[in-house]
A and B are shown apart, each in its own frame.
Chain A
Amino acid sequence: MIPVSWYLLLSAALFSLGICGFLIRRNLITIFMSIELMLNGVNLSFVTFAHQWHLVKGQIFVFFVMVVAAAEAAVGLAIIISIFRARGTLAVDRIDLMKL
């Protein structure tokens, strides 16, 4: 049987990749995908612990996260499209109207 730590390591690796992508990449869609990656890394930890302790709460939580992620994707993509229409670019360092 595969040890729990392996799952957790994979989960941490996915989350860290998400953070790195979130901070480094410029394209708004890539950033968005990085956020999804972080969410899924967290989901993996939830499932791992739920399996480990034989509790269903973790599984339920994963479903909640998925629902929120789906809603967020819908809203987020809509925002991204309208930004693209308005500004003609998705590079985050160009989207800086709030800058003083």
Chain B
Amino acid sequence: MNGSLHLWLIPLLPFAGFLLNGIFGTRLPKALVSTIALLAPLAAFGVVANAAYYVYTGGTLPYTETLGSWINAGSLHIDFSFVLDQLSLTMLLIITGVGFLIHIYSTGYMAHEEGYWRYFSYLNLFLFFMTVLVLAGNALLMFVGWEGVGLASYLLIGFYFKKTSAADAGKKAFIVNRIGDFGFLIGMFLLLANFGTLSFSEIAAKLALNPGWTGGVLTCIALCLFVGATGKSAQLPLYVWLPDAMEGPTPVSALIHAATMVTAGVYMIARSHAIFDRSPLALTVVAIVGAATALFAATIGVVQTDIKRVLAYSTVSQLGYMVLGCGVAAYSAAVFHLMTHAFFKALLFLAAGSVIHGLGGEQDLRKMGGLWKKLPVTFATMTAAVFAIAGFPFLSAFYSKDAILYAAFQHGTNGKIFWAVGIFTALLTSFYMFRLWYLTFFGEQRDKSLHPHESPWSMLGPLTILALLSIGGGWIGIEKFGAWLAPVVGEHEVVNTSGIPELGFSGIAVLVAVIGLVIAHVLYSKQNEKPANLATSLSGPYKLLLNKYYVDELYNAIIVKPLMVISRFILEWVVEFAILGGLAWLLAGIATLAGAILQKWQSGNLRSYAAWLAAGAAVLLLFALVPWTNVLANFGIHLNWAGR
């Protein structure tokens, strides 16, 4: 197969959908809006599938498509180039595939919402930028997608912009992401200064030519890029935007804030792994941040009462796993977990959305309960996802999480600590997911005023497909998946030095999952006083967790408030009052003064005008009749007008 793969169509089709719905959406009938919105990702998925077929039939990778030259300045050349390799193909399949399912789901979920067309045009815009991000062959083009998905995320979080909390959450997400983007930008400048190019393949080639080049500036670049990743992938300390992003519609949370966009940071680290590999220090930082985030977010997730917030903290925690995987150089395990996470977390969010939809917008876990009879399909699919994320055997996350933890354990001296943190997080994960599961579906319905009803098939269909993927998504196994990704992320052989067989690790992981299930079962399977008693006996830590470690308050006090005070001062007193106000007052003063003097002439008295007229005529006459030049010459003054 020699024909072009037309990679440019992958981003452009959703962009066309965005333009059509964005410009004409108000005037189009709803059915046409849905058709356009669904066709765009479906067609993009078709192009991706064609590319996958090309690979399947033995096409050579990486396949590069250069659409034109973007920047040509001196020795700097940046092209619009799209690169298809094993990593970007995997990501594209996830993005367009899961993206398409979530588009279908949205037609049901958003059916009665105002701004239906606006929602779908934003969603298509997101797919456009996300595919650009993934396909980009150089860091700058990736940055375009990177910023673009941030924009789409902002627009969709603030979709219910009439709600102040939603508008604020959008702003928060955008601003926090900008902090990360700053790190990405600095990293790019350092890349330019040290490599003279931003193309990933050229950078990797240059590094391969200098095997002795480690640490130093490479650590600096890696850490800067990682700052970008912490922003986008919601790691400590920049994770604060993701829980608030749940203000957006639930399918958005599923697509952008769980399955695709937030994994961009992990993707970026995997993509530029050549740099990270040369800096053990940077990798250690990445691993520590990942492990800390995983544990930190999981502990918060344990006490949250909003169904979407639990999932949001769970997402942060799972992203921590992926980053930990990158940090121990197990990139293929990280991407493997990224893929399975995309399936089961999208499913969790969509199922939660189905519950919320069925309850008419109620998100509080304390009001749910006993829903398994009323929402059977939602219950069945959610169960698959909950068991998957908890790490039960033969479900997708069992394979991917284990791969990360196994690699972490074998990684150097700190590896065992990372593994211990990871396994404890797995316990917490299992506990809070089963807590959510029990509170939602079992026991008695606690708020009797709600009338749950099952969602339409446009929503249940995607749920079912994702449930199958959540179950079977990991069956390929890390060995095969690692071998598939090896040409891109390199071979990182995990050597078992501990003497414990790999099966032993899996056994421990399954054991903690079961423990989590048992604890949740004891506490939450029936209406009882145990959780409340536990909360009172541990009121200190409980309060700390319920208030999310007061991180938002802390950031508010040490960053936002001082910044606000300073900018208020500068804006209000220096700029507004002193500079602009001063200038305005000065101009106004001149005009007023001139007016005060000149208005004496405008007496309104006809005879005074006549007198001034006569006086003016007399002065002119005097000027014309008296030979001034001669008179002045008598006083020794010689006028020289225009050279005469």
- A contact set with B: CB distance below 8 Å: 19, 22-23, 26, 31, 92-93, 95-100
Q: Are A22 and B610 in contact (CB under 8 A)?
A: yes
| B contact residues around A23 at 8 Å (CB) | 607, 610-611, 614
A99 to B606, Cβ gap below 8 A? no
Q: Which residues of chain A are within 8 angstroms of B605 by Cβ–Cβ distance?
A: 92-93, 96, 99
Give the docked Cα–Cα distance between A95 and B599 (Å).
Answer: 18
Residue of A nearest to B603 (CB): A99
CB atoms of B607 and A93 under 8 A apart: yes
Pairwise interchain contact B602-A98, C-beta atoms closer than 8 A? yes
* Residues on the B chain within 8 Å of A99, using CB: 603-605
| Total of A-B residue pairs, C-beta within 8 Å | 29
> Contact between B602 and A100 (Cβ–Cβ < 8 Å)?
yes
- A99–B601 CA distance with the chains assembled, in angstroms: 10
Instruction: Give the nearest-CB partner of A20 in chain B.
Output: B614
Q: Is the CB of A95 within 8 A of B606?
A: yes
**Chain A contacts of B614 at CB under 8 A?**
19, 22-23
- What residues on B are CB-neighbors of A95 within 8 Å? 606
B611 with A96: CB separation less than 8 A: no
User: Can you list 14 pairs linking A and B with CB atoms under 8 Å apart?
Assistant: A19-B614, A22-B614, A23-B611, A92-B606, A92-B607, A93-B607, A95-B606, A96-B604, A96-B605, A98-B602, A99-B603, A99-B605, A100-B599, A100-B602
- Tell me, in angstroms, the Cα distance from A98 to B603 when the chains sit together: 8
**B interface residue count range (under 10 / 10 to 19 / 20 to 34 / 35 or more):** 10 to 19
Q: For the complex, what is the distance from the CA of A69 to the CA of B602, rounded to whole Å?
A: 27
Contact check, A100 vs B604: say whether CB atoms are below 8 A apart. Answer: yes
Q: Kindly provide the distance from the CB of A3 to the nearest chain B CB, expressed in whole angstroms.
A: 22
Q: Which residue in chain A gives the minimum CB-CB distance to B611?
A: A23
- Extra A-B contacts (11), CB below 8 Å, given A92-B607, A96-B606: A22-B610, A22-B614, A26-B607, A96-B603, A96-B605, A97-B604, A99-B603, A99-B604, A100-B599, A100-B602, A100-B604
Q: Which residues of B contact A93 (CB under 8 A)?
A: 605-607
Question: How far does the alpha carbon of A86 sit from the alpha carbon of B109 in the complex, in Å?
Answer: 76
Central interface residue in B599, B605, B607, B611, by most chain A CB within 10 Å: B607
A26 to B614: give the CA distance in the assembly, Å.
Answer: 16
Q: Looking at the assembled complex, report how far the CB atom of B585 sits from the nearest CB atom of chain A, in whole angstroms.
A: 24
Residues of A within 8 A of B611 (CB): 23
**Are the CB atoms of A98 and B607 closer together than 8 Å?**
no
The residue in chain B whose Cβ has the minimal distance to the Cβ of A100 is B599
Please give me the residue from chain B that is nearest to A96 by CB atom.
B604
Min C-beta distance of B625 to chain A, whole Å: 14
Chain B residues near A26: list those with CB within 8 A: 607
Chain B, 604-620, contact with A by CB distance < 8 Å: what is the 0/1 string? 11110011001000000
CB-nearest residue of chain B to A95: B606
Least distance between A94 CB and chain B CB atoms (Å): 10
A24, closest chain B residue (CB): B607
Q: A93 → chain B, closest Cβ, in Å?
A: 6
Q: Which residue of B lies closest to A34 (CB)?
A: B610
Q: Report Cα–Cα, A23/B611, bound state, in Å.
A: 6
Q: Which residue of A lies closest to B606 (CB)?
A: A92
Q: How far is B603's CA from A22's CA once the two chains are assembled, in angstroms?
A: 18
Q: Whole-angstrom distance between the alpha carbons of A59 and B599 in the complex? A: 43
